[in-house]
């Protein structure tokens, strides 16, 4: 606990470009959490290299992601926004926690199995121990809560198991984190396969709306979105395409599915798709303007990177030194 506030940790990988799903499902909620928690939001670039990356591209995407955090409304004075790779304690604690994690636990991780199938030419040890690094990310800051989706819940459960195992041996060293249960972010799906979530790594460029897409691109993608048989704008499970577009419209306008159904009663898919596109364009315009401002001010962004990196290092090192002392490493002079 810092300044009488509970600590919250979360982060995103510096790969791909953030989608509307990332924004509506996570970033918008992060902004609202700033007053309630002491928040650490990381650009998790260490996690990004389990797959081969072009170095220049990785650097640019990491900087763009940090700028998007700020453009979305995260105040870098209230929130610690930093590069994971600038805090060496992440990697140091991950090695220690590897020695308190069992092979069987890692073998059960479904994300490792999924990524191994997709990248059979590069099934590396980092991909296997990825969840331990994630545990180190969380435990370094003594996080009380972690906002996670269902796809990450298994990793948080492992983090809790590791923390409890370590605490049982050495005393109360780590805060055992809880999943954040609050207002659910919009669950936005792919525009082309509405049974799958919108992904920044989707190979189909029409499947995802990216936060940096210009208005014409947004409108084109919405008009090409998959719909269902019939012509009524109804929020039903048997109409996944229209249901997804309604979710997007509601996330952008603040309206409910019921209000949306009434608004578009008697209107066709074409009119509705256009309205969805316009609502997205209107929501993204101020974010994109702010992103351009932040990205252009290199001195401002570099100052935030330095200041927040030092702040993150301070809190992370406090935990790391305690862990090192507990397990018997020699004290530093």
Tokens representing 250? Answer: 């509601």
| Per-residue burial over 296-330, b = 16 or more CB atoms within 10 Å of its CB, e = otherwise | eeeeebeebbeebbebbbebbeebbeebbeeeeee
Q: CB within 8 A of 12, min separation 6: which ones?
A: 18, 22, 26, 43, 44, 65
Pairing of the two strands 38-43 and 145-146 = unpaired
CA distance linking residue 194 with residue 189, whole number of Å = 5
Catalytic residue among 6, 200, 311, 322: 200
Our answer to whether residue 115 is catalytic in this structure is: yes
Catalytic residue among 6, 60, 77, 115: 115
**Sign, Cα dihedral of 318, 162, 14, 73:** negative
Our answer to whether residue 200 is catalytic in this structure is: yes
Q: CB within 8 A of 213, min separation 6: which ones?
A: 221, 284
Our answer to whether residue 6 is catalytic in this structure is: no
Question: Cβ(79)–Cβ(39) under 8 Å?
Answer: yes
Catalytic residue among 28, 168, 183, 197: 197
**Sign, Cα dihedral of 231, 232, 233, 236:** negative
CA distance linking residue 40 with residue 42, whole number of Å = 6
| Strands (DSSP E) found in the chain | 7-12, 38-43, 80-83, 145-146, 178-179
User: So which residues are the catalytic ones?
Assistant: 115, 197, 200
């Amino acid at each position: 606990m810092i300044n009488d506030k509970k600590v919250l940790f979360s982060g995103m990988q510096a790969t791909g470009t953030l989608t509307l799903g990332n924004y509506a499902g996570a970033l918008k909620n992060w902004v609202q959490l700033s007053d309630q928690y002491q928040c650490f939001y990381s650009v998790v670039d260490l996690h990004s290299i389990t797959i081969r990356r072009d170095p220049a591209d990785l650097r640019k995407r990491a900087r763009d992601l940090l700028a998007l955090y700020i453009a979305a409304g995260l105040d870098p004075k209230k929130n610690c926004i930093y590069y994971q790779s600038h805090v060496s304690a992440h990697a140091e604690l991950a090695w220690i926690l590897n020695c308190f994690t069992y092979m069987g636990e890692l073998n059960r991780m479904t994300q490792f199995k999924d990524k191994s199938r997709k990248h059979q030419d590069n099934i590396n040890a980092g991909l296997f121990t990825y969840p331990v690094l994630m545990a180190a990310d969380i435990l370094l800051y003594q996080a009380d809560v972690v906002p996670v989706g269902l796809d990450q819940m298994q990793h948080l459960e492992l983090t809790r198991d590791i923390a409890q195992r370590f605490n049982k041996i050495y005393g109360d060293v780590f805060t055992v984190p809880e999943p954040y249960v609050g207002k659910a972010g919009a669950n936005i799906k792919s525009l082309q396969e509405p049974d799958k979530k919108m992904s920044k790594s989707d190979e189909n460029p029409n499947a995802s709306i990216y936060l940096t897409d210009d208005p014409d691109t947004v409108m084109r993608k919405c008009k090409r979105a998959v719909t269902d048989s019939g012509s009524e704008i109804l929020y039903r499970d048997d109409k996944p395409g229209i249901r997804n577009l309604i979710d997007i419209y509601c996330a952008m306008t603040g309206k409910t599915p019921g209000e949306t159904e009434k608004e578009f009663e008697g209107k066709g898919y074409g009119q509705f798709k256009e309205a969805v596109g316009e609502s997205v364009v209107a929501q993204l315009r101020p974010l994109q303007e702010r992103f351009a401002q932040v990205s252009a001010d290199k001195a401002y962004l570099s100052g935030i990177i330095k200041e927040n990196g030092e702040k993150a290092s301070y809190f992370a090192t406090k935990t790391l030194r305690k862990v090192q002392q507990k397990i018997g490493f020699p004290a530093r002079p």
